Amino acid sequence: IIWFFVYALVLSVAYMIFGGMGIIWAWALVATFQIGRNYWRMSRLLNNLEARNLMAEPTTQGLWSALETLIIRRNNETRQRMSRLAKMLRGYRLAASAMPEGALVVKRNTGGIIWSNKTAKAMLNISPGDDDVRLNQLLKQPELKAWFDVHDFEKPLLNIAAPNAASTNLDIFLL
């Protein structure tokens, strides 16, 4: 609302000083100023979004402030949702670590191991430096490679010999 009065003041002063022709120049000046101001607000908003800065709540009113408030609210909701998901993931990992059975998190398309609990590491001889090693590199059975190639994960792969114990058989399920 303050800008409305500033623009009205500029237009009225231009009309009083220059007459009819002055008001045209004043309109051009006001329009140029308004375009520049909107461009500045938009570039400031885009820079904050690209830099992922925490934006402060706007103190003014208007269309730009409403847009900034909406973006801030959405960012806060996303941040809270990500925090909840991270807590859930930590809980699931703790639960899987406590399981007596071996558990792996494997990429479906490549078979790369993302995470494993202590039992699975012992059963498969996985060392801490074996990041993103493929399951079929650890278990060199041809049926495992064929199972990943076919992508038929509805059927479990049963009775695969463990690499470190001949008496231990593995049953592999993908959830």
Reduced 3-state DSSP string for 105-130 = EECCCCCEEEEECHHHHHHHCCCCCC
On the 0-12 / 13-18 / 19+ scale of CB atoms within 10 A, 100 is: exposed
pLDDT for the residue numbered 165:
66
The torsion of the CA quartet 115, 83, 95, 169, rounded to 10 degrees, works out to -20
- The predicted model scores a pTM of 0.57
Q: What are phi and psi of 4, to 5 degrees?
A: -60, -45
pLDDT tens column, 76-106: 899 999 999 999 999 988 888 888 887 888 8
Q: Which of the listed ranges 37-41, 85-89, 150-154, 167-171 does the model predict with the highest average pLDDT?
A: 85-89
Label residue 1 by pLDDT band (50, 70, 90). Answer: low
pLDDT tens column, 98-147: 888 878 888 877 778 888 888 888 887 887 777 678 877 777 777 777 77
Highest mean pLDDT among 19-23, 72-76, 83-87: 83-87
Which strand (E) or helix (H) includes residue 157? strand 157-161
C-alpha angle with apex 152: 126 to 89, nearest 5 degrees?
A: 50
